[in-house]
Amino acid sequence: MSSNIKPVIGIEVDGKIYNYKLFESLELLTKTYSQRKAASQLGIAHSVFNRRILKAEKELGYKLVRKVGSGSEITKEGLKLLDIYHTYNNRLKPNENIRIAGGHIITGLLESLNLPFNIEVYSTDNDSAFNLAKDDLIDILALDDPLLAFQENLNFTPIAFDYMVLVSSFKNNFNFKNNSNNQFNIYDDNGSLNIDENINPSATSYEYANFNTNKKIENIEDLEDLNFVAVKGTAQRLVWETLKDHNISFNIEKEVVSQFDAFKLVRNSDNLYTFLNASYFNGSNVLKDQTRHSIGFVHRPGYNKRVDDFLDYVLNNCSDIIRLEGFTPIGF
């Protein structure tokens, strides 16, 4: 079918719908400052143009157009209404960029890839991104956790695997590195030297060890009765499910929407823990196997060739970079 299809919209104000013809008329007035010239460009009589404006003004209860000398101009209220129309109408126009919205982890990965495509990436939580997708405002929904796709029966394409690591207070975790004098320097996670102490080398690895002054975490039973910061819309759900399956009691002290917010809360506390994506954070692998999950895209195959080409490129040409960013590419 060869057709010239162009969508047009109307605006509903207080229960009354004003169609595109009104806004088309107002738009031309901003350029011609003449009702007669605007009517002529629309191919309608001046009387029809004038009745269109007067009818809308009566229903709205305020003036849209005012006389200025021998011409006409749009009022402040008319310009505000026209701006609202443009906001929605612009969403119908084709966009040369591929618009992607989704979780902080996968959008962060996308921004690290060298892609031969023009993309706009919006980092948010899964629910907000899903709302944008339902309103057809994005081309690709990017998910840090595939659960939403399964729940909504969406077409999900995984691009990589990740898992969750246990992160605890900065005060309770140190990196130990052995120096040439068999003396251990204590470093924080940024590599900054904190303390020089003599520590028995047999107590820890020469290369690296986690040292927790409150509680040593070696297996799932050591997670009993810990206080956690939860992050909404992430694969942490796998942690909570695993703990419940093993009858491990735990407390969720606070829920946030960003893994980075959870990280800051935990690092500045004395007794809080959280599980965050291993691709972005260092921590204990105590639940590595139980929390392995995929990250990926939701889109409509065959609807937009540029989007299909984009996904094919990521899947077939970005494995090395995905691995360098701390993920496991699909197929590896």
Whether pLDDT at 189 is above 70 = no
191 found inside a domain? no
Residue 197 has pLDDT above 80, yes or no: no
Residue at 246 is within a domain: yes
pLDDT of residue 169: 81
The token pair that represents 251 in the structure block: 């407390």
pLDDT above 60: residue 122: yes
User: Quick one: 203 exposed, middle or buried, by C-beta within 10 A (0-12, 13-18, 19+)?
Assistant: exposed
Q: Are residues 150 and 77 both part of a single domain?
A: no
* Residue 198 within any structural domain of the chain: no
Q: Is the model's pLDDT at 318 over the cut of 70?
A: yes
Which residue would you say has higher pLDDT here, 264 or 126? 264
pLDDT at 93 over 90: no
Count of domains for the chain: 3
Residue 312 is predicted with a pLDDT of 95
What confidence score (pLDDT) does residue 215 get?
A: 64
Between 104 and 200, whose confidence is greater?
A: 104
Q: CATH no. for residue 50?
A: 1.10.10.10
Distance CA 312, CA 294 (A): 17
Task: Give yes or no for residue 176 having a pLDDT over 50.
Answer: no
Confidence of residue 286 (pLDDT cuts 50, 70, 90): very high
Mean pLDDT of the chain: 83
User: Are 62 and 75 in a shared domain?
Assistant: yes
Domain-located, residue 180 = no
| Cα 25 to Cα 50, 79, 154, distances in angstroms | 10, 12, 41
Residue 90 clears pLDDT 80, i.e. is over it: no
Residue 271: give the domain boundaries: 165-173+210-291
Does 265 lie in the same domain as 169? yes
Same domain membership, residue 267 and residue 157: no
In a domain, 183, yes or no: no
> Tens of pLDDT along 200-230?
333 332 223 333 345 678 899 999 999 999 9
Maximal C-alpha separation, the chain: 97
- Among the candidates 61, 90, 119, a domain finishes at 90
Residues 169 and 254 both lie in one domain: yes
Mean pLDDT, to the nearest integer, of 70-78?
Answer: 89
Give yes or no: residues 319 and 280 share one domain: no
Sign of CA dihedral 307, 308, 313, 314: positive
Q: Is the pTM of this model over 0.85?
A: no
pLDDT in tens, 123-172: 888 888 998 898 888 999 999 999 999 999 999 999 999 999 999 885 55
Residues 235 and 297 in one domain: no
Share of the chain above pLDDT 70, in %: 83
pLDDT of 4? 66
16 and 83 assigned to the same domain: yes
Q: Which pLDDT belongs to residue 199?
A: 34
Within-domain flag for 223: yes
| Domain final residue, candidates 72, 90, 108 | 90
- Do residues 138 and 157 share a domain? yes
* Closest to 291 measured CA to CA, from 281, 304, 306: 281
pLDDT score, position 180: 37
Burial of residue 126 (CB within 10 Å: 0-12, 13-18, 19+) is buried
One domain for residues 138 and 225: no
Residues 136 and 283 in one domain: no
- Cα-to-chain-centroid distance, residue 233: 11
Question: Rounded distance, CA 263 to CA 251, Å?
Answer: 17
In a domain, 181, yes or no: no
Lowest mean pLDDT across 10-14, 165-169, 189-193, 221-225: 189-193
Distance separating alpha carbons of residues 126 and 101, to the nearest angstrom:
9
- Residue 325 maps to which CATH number? 3.40.190.10
166 to each of 163, 210, 266, how far by Cα in Å?
Answer: 10, 11, 11
Alpha-carbon dihedral sign for residues 155, 160, 161, 167: negative
Question: Is 247 within the bounds of a domain?
Answer: yes
